[in-house]
Structure 1
Amino acid sequence: MVTDTEAAWLEQALKGDDEAYSRLVETYQNPVFNLCYRMLGDEAEAEDAAQEAFWRAYQALKRYDPNRSFITWLLSIAAHYCIDQQRKRRFTSFSIDSLEEDFLPDGGVGPEKAAAQSEQSQILHQMLTQMPAPDRAAIVLRYWYDFTDQEIADALSLTVPAVKSRLHRARRALAEQMQQHIKEPAYAERNPYESSAL
């Protein structure tokens, strides 16, 4: 559902009021940019992707269902675009800088704890860069944006069982790699997804 204010802006935007759409962009530019940054790992690319997502949303406004959350719909468009970009370049990077606030919420941690958390963040960074784009999108939408299975399915044009399968596979692979790292300090890079069916 949309708020009354959003509904008014959407109605005005549908009538060609660019100022009304600009208000929607201002309201949601941060979450859209953050999703793009987590997906693409590059600030400049994320800015371009966010602009493209808002442009695509503007072009598709007449197809928007007001019974659906506007931000969910908008993030779905952004996620699809980022997946397309990742597929095009075939090499993805996931900036760990975008995760620091999530993994280091307490600015007063001691140096030993901070070092351990930094190492864990680096390991997670390495693991996430190896995931196929749709799996990474599912993980980001679930754990950073609290999307439900159905919302992820809608966002990525998948079935709910496919979403559950992707999330399960991704969590299992992350857990296995973490265990492997604990057992083998000299962690060898390898991609557990190479033999997985997308």
Structure 2
Amino acid sequence: MEESLLIARAQRGDQSGFAQLVEMYQTPVYNLAYRMLSNVNDAEDAAQETFLRAFAQLKTFRVDQKFATWLLSICAHHCIDRLRRRKFFWLSLEDKVLEEALASDAPEPDDVALRAENAHEIAQSLERLAPAYRLVVVLKYWHDQSVEEIARTTGDSVSAVKVKLHRARKMLAREMTTQSKAEGGRMKDEKATLSFIPHPSSFEREVTHAR
């Protein structure tokens, strides 16, 4: 059945229609939660809470929105709240920093690849990023969202998303370079971004249908 029909059914209170939406989106929601929280149990709880909140807020969903973006936005904000309770804090970019980054003539390192032996190494580096930067990276490279979609998911401006992605790439490049050097690798400094990241299929889990 088409997604739009399932959404319409769910908005009328049809739980079976919503259960099918859960079936469709449980893996991407779980993967986002896991990448943000780095803990299986927390990710499962967050995914469950995401679907419960989505069901409760379905009447606010508009037909001109993309359901996946709307759903991942709920998940993202819930994960940020959980991280804040863990004593992490959302890092906001000051206007001056934003303007300087946008005005910079330095090229974006989109054309160089982050080469890691496995997804676990990447995950370790990702965990060291502040939540705001971790979120845009996960949405971009694990969920294939465009900059515009990320902006809608996070509530940031398109310019802020671009800055966060740029800074996150550089932070990950430094982190992966440090790891490589520590392990006797030969990764060249500042020659790493996220143009290649294996999908973390080993981390995929199913979440219980929202009731």
- The answer, yes or no, to whether TM exceeds 0.5 is yes
Q: Structure 1-normalised TM-score?
A: 0.72
Gaps of 5+ in 1: 93-115, 187-198
Q: 2:92 matched to which residue of 1?
A: none
Percent of aligned pairs sharing the same letter? 44
The structure with the largest helix share of the pair is 1
The answer for the alignment partner of 2:25 in structure 1 is: 28
In structure 2, runs of 5+ residues without a counterpart are 90-115, 185-211
Q: Is residue 74 from structure 1 mapped to residue 71 from structure 2 by the alignment? A: yes
Letter in 1 for 2:138: V
Structure scoring higher RCO (CA < 8 A, sep ≥ 6) equals 2
Query: Does 2:147 match 1:149?
Result: yes
Conserved? CA contact 2:22–2:51, under 8 Å: yes
Question: Aligned pair in 2 of structure 1 residues 183, 37: CA closer, same or farther (>3 Å)?
Answer: closer
Label 1:46 to 1:179 Cα distance change in 2 as closer, same or farther (>3 A): closer
1:12 counterpart = 2:9:
yes
Aligned-CA RMSD value: 2.2
CA deviation digits over 1:24-69, x for unaligned, max 9? 1122111111111121111111111111111111121111122222
Give 1:121 deviation, angstroms.
4.0
How big is the shift at 1:90? 2.6
Alpha carbons of structure 1 residues 64 and 176: separation in structure 2 relative to 1, 3 Å: same
Tell me what 1:133 maps to: 131
CA distance in structure 2 between the partners assigned to 1:27 and 1:125 by the alignment: 25
Indicate how the Cα distance of structure 1 residues 165 and 51 shifts in structure 2: closer, same or farther if over 3 A, else same.
same
Map of 2:160 onto structure 1:
162
Would you identify which runs of 4 or more consecutive aligned residues in structure 1 move more than 2 Å?
124-127, 176-186
- How far the C-alpha of 1:70 sits from its partner, in A, is 1.0
Paired residues, number: 158
Which deviates the most, 163-172 or 31-40? Answer: 31-40
The one-letter code matched in structure 2 to 1:72 is T
Matched, 1:53 2:33: no
**CA separation of 1:52 and 1:181: change in aligned 2, threshold 3 A:** closer
Residues 14, 182 of structure 1: alpha-carbon distance in 2 compared, 3 angstrom cutoff:
closer
- Aligned equivalents of 1:125, 1:27: Cα separation in 2: 25
- Compared with structure 1, are the counterparts of its residues 26 and 126 closer, same or farther at alpha carbon in structure 2 (3 Å cutoff)? closer
Q: Which deviates more, 165-174 or 17-26?
A: 17-26
Q: CA-to-partner distance for each residue in 1:49-96, whole Å, 9 max, x for gaps?
A: 11111111112111112222211211111111111111111369xxxx
Mean Cα deviation higher: 154-163 or 22-31 = 22-31
C-alpha change, 1:84 and 1:152, in structure 2 (3 Å) is same
Give, in angstroms, the shift of residue 125 of structure 1: 3.4
- Look up the match of 1:117: 117
Following the alignment from structure 1 to structure 2, what is the Cα–Cα distance between the partners of residues 173 and 77? 26
Output the CA distance in 1 between the equivalents of 2:143 and 2:59. Answer: 25
